[in-house]
Amino acid sequence: RECSDSGPAAASTVLRVHFYHGIQGAAECSLLSFPPGDYVAEELCISAAKACSISPLYYNFFGLFREQDRLWFSPNHVFHLEETASEDLFFRLRYYFPGWYSSGPSRAYRYGVTKGSESPVLDDTVMSYLFFQWRNDFVNGLIQIPNSHETQEECLGMAVLDMSRLAKEKQMSPLDIYHNTSYKTFLPKDMRAQIQDCNFVTRKRIRFRFKRFIQQFSQCRTTVRDLKLKYLISMESLEKAFYTETFQVREASSGTLNILVAADTGIQWAREKDSVKVLQLLCDFPDVVHISIQQVSSEGSTEGRIVIINKQDGKSLEVEFQSLAEALSFVSLVDGYYRLTTDAQHYLCKEVAPPRLLEDISSHCHGPISIEYAIHRLQKCGNKHGVFILRSSPKDFYKYFLTFPVKIYDTIEYKHCQITKSANGEFNLSGTKRQFCSLQDLLKCYQKETIRSDTVVFQFSQCCPPKSKELSCLLVCRSNKGSDVPLSSS
């Protein structure tokens, strides 16, 4: 099946980026293939996001993951792939905010311009992608699930949701699915084995009760979306490991310990104290000021890297990772969470800084903020003539807009002039002839020019840059921070 980004998936394919479900229009195809060459992780993520219809507002929740050594790659990682190389990567949602689906008190949400205009962290497309990702981890036993009567019932409940979801997608009755496929294939590998170990009568009883409930559940009025959503909610409560990353490090005073990173708990470490594991908060993402990576100086270990986390209180933490790749995996995780929780336009460590972010910073581009937000910022500048905002499109990875206020008679209107980025990386302001190799050069040129849009004459004289730690829709407010962070930026 043809599904390559770059011609037929022939023998020349050395890099494959896998998805957890088929791409639209190609049900059985769930990967992109690439020929030998150099590839930046960020651009691969963008290709993958486009193939999965994930918009620019959400792609920074994703990363590239290699299953065999359980490594994540930073956005600026370059894959140098020769003819003989073979690389298999997974496009995975990496940053997860518990309670994202709720608008209640334990919620996580994106900031809005005003109170009441907050928006959800994820949309249905991302939710659906995450469903297939977590379903894969769940069924294939990639995440260990505690073995108790309670969790077994939760797993069976999830199998009911999953079977009903499949039935709806295939337009069959859940009972037909039940008869065609063993219900056990919807359960984690370990639980399948446990049921297999039960005696014949017990197995038959579990199967019978499951069948009876599937029959009852098929009377339920529901949608594929809601079934997937409930599946994710159950998964979130079942096991934190679905959205927590763990790293093994060495620390001068404590020896070997585990570092745990999750959106709601920040960076924690698990120390062994009197043979009991004690979890302690190391620091939360907003507390981090800067991270640096150093080579271990002691002889014996040339691979190891020391990561130094400098905190706002002036203190710093030093932990040693076994390899540079692991250190970068950790640092890119903290850096990504920092951008989603604290400052959308800042990086903590230059070794992992996303190339597009560097481009945005040098051209004062706001990222994929909404029109509503851009207008809000211009209003704060008093809608002055000549002031403009440069933002990237929330819909298209290769478009930008210059948004500026114009006075037409007595009312203020807003214009959005489009800049397109071509495949070879050149920028063009729509309606003009010249190509530029950077946004900066483009702006420098047209800031001296007089522009006409419809009947209005205009000059891009003053750029309105993003402010540090600005609360925009690019930032997520976490449930644990609901009380001490203001709701709105206005």
Partner 1 sequence: TMLVSHRRYLLKKVWPTIPTPENKFQGLFTIYGGDFQKWLGHTDGDLWQSPNVFYPEEGPSPLEVLSELPVSPLLQCPPLPPKGCRVPQ
Q: Which of residues 160-199 bind partner 1 (CB under 8 A)?
A: 160, 199
Separation CA 490–CA 481 (nearest Å): 18
Q: How far is the CB of 61 from partner 1 (least distance, A)?
A: 15
Least spacing, CB of residue 141 vs partner 1, in Å: 18
Least distance from C-beta 147 to partner 1, angstroms? 11
Task: Give the span between the Cα atoms of 343 and 475, in whole angstroms.
Answer: 7
Binding to partner 1 by residue 226, rule CB under 8 A?
Answer: yes
Give whichever of 365 and 429 is closer to partner 1, judged by the CB atom. 429
Asked if 244 and 95 count as a contact pair (C-beta separation under 8 A), the reply is: no
Q: Which is nearer to partner 1, 152 or 341 (CB)?
A: 152
Selected from 171, 219, 297, 302, the binder of partner 1 by CB under 8 A is 219
Rounded alpha-carbon distances, angstroms, from residue 355 to 77, 172, 337, 346:
10, 47, 17, 12
Span near partner 1 by CB under 8 A; candidates 19-27, 44-52, 263-271, 449-457? 449-457
- For residues 285 and 264, give the distance between their C-alpha atoms in angstroms, rounded to a whole number: 10
Return the residue of 196, 314, 433, 483 that touches partner 1, per CB under 8 A.
433
Site for partner 1 in 349-388 (CB under 8 A): 370-371
Distance CA 433, CA 420 (A): 12
Looking only at the bridges linking them, the beta strands covering 387-392 and 462-463 are parallel
Q: Is 34 in the site for partner 1 (CB under 8 A)?
A: no
**How many residues at the interface with partner 1, by CB under 8 A?**
71
By the rule CB under 8 A, 124 interacts with partner 1: yes
Examine residue 104 and tell whether it contacts partner 1 (CB under 8 A): yes
- In the bound state with partner 1, the residue whose beta carbon lies nearer, of 6 and 102, is 102
**Residues within window 232-291 making contact with partner 1, judged by CB under 8 A:** 233-234
**Which of 129/321 has CB closer to partner 1?**
129
Nearest distance from residue 71's CB to partner 1, in Å?
Answer: 32
Counting contacts by CB under 8 A, is residue 435 touching partner 1? no
What six digits make up the tokens of 289?
A: 């000021």
Q: Is 489 helix (H, G, I), strand (E, B) or coil?
A: coil
Region from 97-105, 165-173, 281-289, 309-317 binding partner 1, contact rule CB under 8 A: 97-105
CA–CA separation, 365 vs 402, rounded Å?
9
Residue 295 sits in the site that holds partner 1 (CB under 8 A): no
Give the whole-angstrom CA distance, residue 320 versus residue 373.
42
Q: Rank residues 36 and 157 by Cβ distance to partner 1 and give the closer one.
A: 157
Closest residue by Cα to residue 139 from 162, 171, 122:
162
Q: Rule CB under 8 A: is residue 220 a binding residue for partner 1?
A: yes
Closest CA to 133 of 42, 44, 62: 62
What lies within 8 Å, CB to CB, of 77 at 6+ separation is 40, 41, 64, 328
Contacts with 340 (C-beta within 8 Å, 6 or more apart), sequence order: 60, 61, 95, 97, 263, 474, 475, 476
Q: Which stretch in 14-22, 31-39, 254-262, 430-438 sits in contact with partner 1 by CB under 8 A?
A: 430-438
Judged by beta carbon, residue 152 or residue 345, the one nearer partner 1 is: 152
Binding test (CB under 8 A) with partner 1, winner from 6, 66, 213, 426:
213
- Is there binding between residue 210 and partner 1 (CB under 8 A)? yes
Longest dimension (CA), the chain: 84
- In contact, 42 and 36? CB cutoff 8 Å: no
Min dist CB 91 to partner 1, Å, is: 21
Taking alpha carbons only, the member of 356, 320, 344 closest to residue 472 is 344
Of the two residues 131 and 269, which places its CB atom closer to partner 1 in the complex? 131
Bridge partners of 259, per DSSP, are 247, 269
159 vs 306 by CB, closer to partner 1: 159
Query: According to CB under 8 A, which residues from 299 to 338 bind partner 1?
Result: none
Q: Tell me if 447 contacts partner 1 by CB under 8 A.
A: no
- Give the nearest distance from C-beta 234 to partner 1 in angstroms: 7
C-alpha–C-alpha distance, residues 313 and 302, integer Å: 31
Half-sphere exposure of 275 (CA within 13 A, CB side): 0
Residue 98 — φ and ψ, nearest 5°? Answer: -55, 140
The residue with tokens 């890297």 is 305
Task: Select from 10-18, 121-129, 321-329, 334-342 the region that touches partner 1 (CB under 8 A).
Answer: 121-129
Candidates 53, 216, 248, 295: give the one binding partner 1 (CB under 8 A): 216
Pick from 49, 122, 257, 267: which binds partner 1 (CB under 8 A)? 122
Segment 384 to 423, residues that bind partner 1, using CB under 8 A? 393-395, 401, 415-418
Closest of 11, 67, 10, 5 to residue 31, by C-alpha: 5
